[in-house]
Amino acid sequence: MSPAIASSNPLPYTTSLSGENLRRLHRFDAIKSVVNSTVRSHPLNAVQPRPIDSLRRGDWVKLICGASFEDAADIRNLSLVYSLAGVDCIDCAADESVVNAVNDGIDAAMNIGSVERPWVMISVNDDKEDLHFRKAEFDPEDCPLDCSRPCEKVCPANAILLENSSSTGNHSLGSSDALGRLQGGVVTERCYGCGRCFPVCPFDKISAKTYIRDPAATSELLKRNDVDAIEIHTTGRHIHLFNELWESLGDSIKHVKLVAVSMPDVGKSTFTTMSEMYKIMESRLIGYNLWQLDGRPMSGDIGRGATREAIDFAMRLAALPNRPHAGWWDKFAHNR
């Protein structure tokens, strides 16, 4: 969700704020002023979809299920609840079963109450280096029986389940050793690649399995009438990979209402990279386009620093005299 929507008037609280909090409020106000100037120069149009109006107002809300989170039951329930809450968009993995689960949840919400249908966005990547597209992986039989299992404790998605096969008497799910070994491991569909388990393993047995979403399967999803938008995750370091992905999607991209490109700050080359990406997209870009500024990839729920970096990134781009092209300019800085 955009940090540009810090909405309360700070004046009544000024005397009790620390210097750092005041600086933070000033940063928010600076971003809000850019959004407000954008809104004034592009008046809202009654025929536009609600998500577009929300973007222009600066109060767009998107539920991020996770580019790698694939637990269909949880995703269906999340989609139901957040559709009732009135989100503008639900972002999910580019997987058919996941997209079906999202739409099932939305349909259930619409049967419960009078709500507007949120857009469905699917997330893809152009590079295996992108942290949003990975899964933890390890062989539980390699784990010592006396391990304290810190990976289980630290996993926020309950995606690691381990048990001693000798204590359960079950030797069929990963171990046939009568003396007992650990069985279970990573519940793949629940792992979204946050990376918390990697550094806590005392035996360094957990690795990351990275992948790229299949462009052909993605193209088929984009042609569906219940998929409205796509988010392309890119590291911004390999423009040729972005070009390859875009070309592989072909004319399927013309079916969506919004193309969002999510990238981190890549330093001095950021503006040039964004401009090159827009040139690649321009000829087949029929809907809106949106730049998502990732402050610190895959760290949004860990600490305040991720949000600060996203805000600083947005402000640096907002200060450019010639900002990268968009259907309009909105900064949607996020931390996931």
Q: Assign residue 103 the CATH number of its domain.
A: 3.20.20
| Shared domain check, 187 and 217 | no
Confidence band for 299, pLDDT divided at 50, 70 and 90: low
pLDDT at 145 over 50: yes
Q: For position 294, what pLDDT does the model report? A: 82
Task: Compute the mean pLDDT over every residue in the chain, rounded to the nearest whole number.
Answer: 81
Alpha-carbon span 116 to 246, nearest angstrom: 30
Share of the chain above pLDDT 90, in %: 53
Of the pLDDT bands very low, low, confident and very high (cuts 50, 70, 90), residue 319 is confident
Final residue belonging to a domain, choices 209, 243, 271: 209
pLDDT for 301? 58
What digits encode the pLDDT tens for the residues 175-229? 444 455 667 899 999 999 999 999 999 999 999 999 999 999 999 999 999 999 9
What's the CA gap between 289 and 157, in Å, rounded? 31
Give the count of domains, the chain: 2
Last residue of a domain, one of 160, 178, 209: 209
Whether pLDDT at 170 is above 60: no
User: Residues 251, 205: one domain?
Assistant: no
- Which residue, 209, 237, 260, sits at the end of a domain? 209
Q: Are residues 76 and 225 in the same domain?
A: yes
Residue 122 and residue 230 in one domain: yes
Q: Which of 23-27, 77-81, 330-334 has the lowest mean pLDDT?
A: 330-334
- Contacts with 310 (C-beta within 8 Å, 6 or more apart), sequence order: 3, 293, 294, 295, 296, 333, 334, 335
pLDDT higher than 60, residue 45: no
Asked whether residue 35 falls in the same domain as residue 102, the answer is yes
Question: For the CA atoms of the chain, what is the radius of gyration?
Answer: 22
Residue 27's pLDDT band (boundaries 50, 70, 90)? low
The pLDDT value given to residue 329:
39
Do 183 and 223 lie in one domain? The reply is no
Asked whether the predicted pLDDT for residue 297 surpasses 80, the reply is: no
Confidence label for 268 from pLDDT (cuts 50, 70 and 90) = confident
In this structure, the answer to whether residues 115 and 221 fall within a common structural domain is yes
Do 16 and 148 reside in the same domain of the chain?
no
Q: Which domain holds residue 181?
A: 134-209
What does the alpha-carbon distance between residue 181 and residue 96 come to, in Å, rounded to a whole number? 36
DSSP 141-194: GGS-TT---HHHHH-TT--EEEEEHHHHT--SSS---TT--EEEEE-TTT----
Q: How confident is the model at residue 174 (pLDDT cuts 50, 70, 90)?
A: very low
Q: Are residues 221 and 201 in the same domain?
A: no
Confidence at residue 46, expressed as pLDDT on a 0 to 100 scale: 47
Contact 54, 61 (CB under 8 A): yes
Q: Are residues 184 and 219 in the same domain?
A: no
Tell me: pLDDT of 124 over 50. Answer: yes
Check pLDDT > 70 for residue 29. no
Indicate if the pLDDT at residue 8 is higher than 60: no
Q: Tell me, what CATH number does 203's domain have?
A: 3.30.70
Is residue 144 pLDDT above 80, yes or no? yes
Residues 154 and 193 in one domain: yes
Assess whether pLDDT exceeds 80 at residue 326.
no
Residue with tokens 């809907």: 287
CA 243, CA 127: separation in Å to the nearest integer?
11
pLDDT > 70 in the chain, percent: 75
Q: What is the pLDDT of residue 83?
A: 96
Gap between the Cα atoms of 336 and 289, Å rounded:
19
Q: What is the mean pLDDT of residues 99-116?
A: 94
Based on the fold, state whether residues 267 and 122 are members of the same structural domain. yes
What whole-number distance in Å separates Cα of residue 30 and Cα of residue 137?
A: 43
Mean pLDDT of 151-175: 72
